Structures are given as C-alpha cells and as structure tokens.
Amino acid sequence: MEGILKQELLRLKETERSYVREVARLRNGSLQEKRIKGTPYLYLVSSKKSKLSYQYLGGLSAEELKKLKADIALRKKYQRLLKEVRQDIRRITKILHGKRRAV
Amino acid sequence: MAKDEQFEILLTVLRKFQEAGILADFMLIGSWCLQFYRYHFEHPEKLPAFRTLDVDFLIPHASRIKTEVNVPEILRKEGFVPTYNRSSGIVKYNHRELQVEFLVPELGKGGNRAREIKNLHIKAVALRYLNMLLDYPLLLNYERLLVRVPEPAVFALHKLIISERRLNKEKAQKDLETAVGLLEFLYTKPGEIKQIKSILRTVPRKWLQATLSVSGKHFPQLNETAMNL
C-alpha cells in the first residue's frame, strides 16, 4: 500500500510541475467588458506587481480573440486542477508521514 | 473526486477521439478494459473490479493513419498536461485523476526510444507482447461509443505474461490478481473456455511457455486446458 501511495505521490508531483509549466505558458488575466456611451469595449485585466493593468483588445481579430478566450479558459481549468493536485499531494504526504511515525 | 467521475473523464476523452475520427485507430488496453467487460458481460459480481490511473491506448497500425489530428490539443482541452521524459522521449498526459499513454507493438529488436506518430502529434512507447491483443479485438458499443478492447480471454493471458516481466512488484501483483480473477470468471463460461483454447493454439511457442509458467503457479486450470488442446 505504501509503495502505491509513494508512486502516486511521485506522479502527482510530476503532474503539479507540468500544470505549473502550462499555467506559466498561458496568458495571464481575465476579460472584462466596459461600456462607454453604450458601446462595449473589451479589456484584458491582469495584475502586475499588485497593480491592475488594463489592456484594450480592440485591435485583435476575431480569431485572435477566440484563441485568447480559449487560453484563459484553459489556464483557469489548469489552475483549478493544480489546486486539487496540491491538495492530493498534501493528503498523501500526511498519510505517508503518519505511517512512518507510527512505525 | 468520486470514482465514477474518473470514468466520466475517460468517456469524455473517448468521445472527443470519436468526434475527431480516430477512436477506430486505437485499442483501449490496460485495467480500464475491465470496466467495459463488466458492461459486456452485463455487470457480473465475480468479475474483478481493479482499475488504475493509467489509460493505455494501443495503436495497431500507426503508419496507416492518414487523418491529421492534434491529439495533445484534444487532451489539453480536457485538462491533461503533457509530462516529458527527456531521456526516453516518452510523453505521458497527466490529469489529476488519470494518466494517458500511447503504445505501439514492438517490432524487431526494439529499443528504448519512443516512436513518433506524426499525424497524431504524439509519441508512443513500443512494448513487447502487444501483438497478441491486436489479434483478438472486441468492438463494444458503449453509450454510442465504438470502443475497441482486446477480448477478455486474451487480455487475461496477456496480463499473466506481463506480470512476470514487470519490474515494479506491486504492479506485477495487481496484473496477476486481475488475470487470475478474470480467468476464474471466464472459466464459468463455456464459450470463453473455447476462446481460451483457440488463443492457446495460435500464440507463439515462447509466449505460450511464458504464459503457462505463470499459470502453473497461480491458475493450474489453464495448464490442464493447454494439455488437452
């Protein structure tokens, strides 16, 4: 049983590293629409050194915008999974340490 | 995450492969086949229920695949991340709940490097003894998914062989338990015994010897069957 847990821990740590790498590769921030005089304007909102930065996306083509949206959605999915993987790592580490102490 | 959610992730991947028109090019092997065997045999109690995180897809004829499909991209969208092994060139696709890997039958002398399948943008690991699975395919219609798995009999015999070759003792033990559990169930079905006999008649002599050397210790009934071929 301990061997299986150790193996799963290794796999999860590997997965964690891969998620971290992929999250860093994908575009940071989220999309925000502002209405000025009734006209919608799309911005990419991201934080840099604890300051919010707004990047106007008016110059992007429909294709580029679609890709950006997909990237942001994927990054959020990866971040959620990364959080869950880290929870699993903590849980398994706790079980393994608990075992060692009991012996 | 609940166990069924794990199976749901696998089904989603299979659906995406089917939509991309490549599911027919793959054979699902490994412990997840048991899930489909349960369905095939209408959920019997005696069938072993082991399953692991590994989802292995065997690609029988990599060179015949003409459609270009970006498989890593499909997997990425479902939350899988590629994990690289730089020394061997193997790429696995990890998810919190599952790990997808692609395999091809090893031909000739073999080698440790991964084999690139350009049209699918993936690298597959070449392993021995996979040809025997390909010779006995079973096509199942599961929730409108046409899933190809090896026949249960050949799956059990293959598990017996590889349990001896595994370096990881725990995995070897799991393979052995799966094989014996499945064989015990198959031996309650005359049609499956007939199929086991027909497989034993056709496998290469060395492979047969490898199978019987394991079954002699763990499932002697198979050796008796082999004696009366």
Is residue B116 a contact partner of residue B123, using CB atoms and an 8 Å limit?
yes
Residue A77's contacts (CB-CB under 8 Å, 6 or more residues apart) are B79
For chain A positions 17-36, those within 8 Å of chain B (CB to CB) are 17-19, 21-22
Q: Do B81 and A15 touch (CB under 8 A)?
A: yes
Q: What share of chain B is helix, strand, coil (3-state, %, to 5)?
A: 50, 20, 30
Residue among A4, A81, A88 minimizing CB distance to B79: A81
Q: Print the domain residue range for A49.
A: 2-102
Residue among B1, B77, B96 minimizing CB distance to A15: B96
* pLDDT value for B110: 60
d(CA A75, CA B81): 11
Neighbours of B122 (CB within 10 A): 24
| Type of residue found at A100 | R
* pLDDT value for A15: 95
pTM of the model: 0.86
Residue among B1, B81, B96 minimizing CB distance to A22: B81
Query: With an 8 Å Cβ cutoff, is B188 touching chain A?
Result: no
Q: Do B76 and A74 touch (CB under 8 A)?
A: yes
Q: Is the pLDDT of residue B157 over 60?
A: yes
Of B140, B186, B144, nearest in space to B40 by CA:
B140
**Mutation for A interface: B55, B76, B81, B91, most A CBs within 10 A:** B81
Alpha-carbon dihedral angle through residues A46, A47, A51, A57, given to the nearest 10 degrees = -10
Q: Do B83 and A19 touch (CB under 8 A)?
A: no
Give the pair of three-digit tokens for residue A71. Answer: 């990237």
**Per-residue pLDDT reduced to its tens digit, A1-31:** 777 888 889 999 999 999 999 999 998 899 9
Top-confidence residue, B172 or B87: B172
Q: Do A19 and B99 touch (CB under 8 A)?
A: no
**Per-residue pLDDT reduced to its tens digit, A52-97:** 888 898 878 888 888 999 999 999 999 999 999 999 999 999 998 8
Q: Is the pLDDT of residue B91 over 80?
A: yes
Specify the number of domains making up chain A.
1
Work out the burial of residue B142: count CB atoms within 10 Å of its CB; fewer than 13 is exposed, 13-18 middle, 19 or more buried.
middle
Counting every residue, how long is chain A?
103
For chain B positions 108-167, those within 8 Å of chain A (CB to CB) are none
Instruction: Output the CA–CA distances (angstroms, integers) from residue A6 to A38, B2, B55, in the order listed.
Output: 58, 21, 19
| Type of residue found at A72 | I
**Per-residue pLDDT reduced to its tens digit, B187-207:** 999 999 999 999 999 988 888
Give the pair of three-digit tokens for residue B117. Answer: 């399948």
φ and ψ at residue B196, rounded to 5 degrees: -60, -45
d(CA A15, CA A86): 10
Name every chain A residue with its beta carbon within 8 A of the beta carbon of B95.
15, 81
d(CA A66, CA A92): 39
